[in-house]
Chain A
Amino acid sequence: RKEVEQDPGPFNVPEGATVAFNCTYSNSASQSFFWYRQDCRKEPKLLMSVYSSGNEDGRFTAQLNRASQYISLLIRDSKLSDSATYLCVGGPKAAGNKLTFGGGTRVLVKP
């Protein structure tokens, strides 16, 4: 089993709709979680950190469920520019340790 697993998609989303997807992690000791966005042939960029209490940044909401070991990302009012691959990331809190990246979930927002 992979340490961080994601549905590869693609999730085809009408513009203006809401889309949500999850990521599961197997290492119960993981403490830091993030969502990154990666556009085709570009470097991953931080979308948001995921806090235990959940957090929201504009149209994006991230949740952490430690009991079931998954994190989620919800995108409201999808824009064409939200089309990208979303990478789930987890790992130990200390910066000197490795973070583990999921394979990514591809989202395609269509007019």
Chain B
Amino acid sequence: NAGVTQTPKFQVLKTGQSMTLQCAQDMNHNSMYWYRQDPGMGLRLIYYSASEGTTDKGEVPNGYNVSRLNKREFSLRLESAAPSQTSVYFCATRGGSTDTQYFGPGTRLTVL
């Protein structure tokens, strides 16, 4: 089992460019989450999806959109990237008997 996978691992964008970060899970969890983490700071929730077909804003949703494509996949889109969106982006799922969160390896995004 791969767990939670994210693509790409690294990305450099110019201001104004758009891109989609992909996340997929094979854990059969209903809930999926997108976080960002800036250097020396904690995780901040961008959007989450409690179940397939639903999405909700987190703490810092401005500048992002999400799509819960199916139970396995949850994508994060930056329509017009800004330098303030330079960060590490983590996707996570939640579920299982212990109700814990499991994280993907992250996408390191730099916006110039």
- Chain A residues with a Cβ under 8 A of chain B: 32, 34, 41-46, 49, 87, 89, 93-99, 101-104
* Pairs of residues from A and B, 3 with the lowest C-beta to C-beta distance, nearest first: A96-B50, A103-B42, A43-B103
A46-B58 in contact (CB<8A): no
A contact residues around B2 at 8 Å (CB): none
B43-A44 in contact (CB<8A): yes
A101-B43 in contact (CB<8A): yes
Size category of the B interface is 20 to 34
Instruction: State the majority secondary structure of interface residues on B.
Output: strand
What total count of A-B pairs have CB within 8 Å?
54
- Chain B residues with a Cβ under 8 A of chain A: 29-31, 33, 35, 41-43, 45, 48, 50-51, 58, 88, 90, 94-95, 98-106, 108
How long is the Cα–Cα vector from A49 to B102 in the complex, in angstroms? 13
**How near does chain B come to A52, taking the closest CB pair, in angstroms?**
14
**How near does chain B come to A8, taking the closest CB pair, in angstroms?**
9
How long is the Cα–Cα vector from A33 to B12 in the complex, in angstroms? 36
Instruction: State the majority secondary structure of interface residues on A.
Output: loop
B99-A95 in contact (CB<8A): yes
B contact residues around A95 at 8 Å (CB): 29-31, 50, 94-95, 99
16 additional A-B residue pairs with CB within 8 Å, beyond A44-B90, A95-B30, A101-B35 = A43-B90, A44-B103, A49-B100, A89-B101, A93-B99, A94-B99, A95-B50, A96-B30, A96-B51, A96-B94, A97-B50, A98-B48, A101-B42, A102-B42, A103-B41, A103-B42
**How near does chain B come to A21, taking the closest CB pair, in angstroms?**
15
Residue of A nearest to B93 (CB): A95
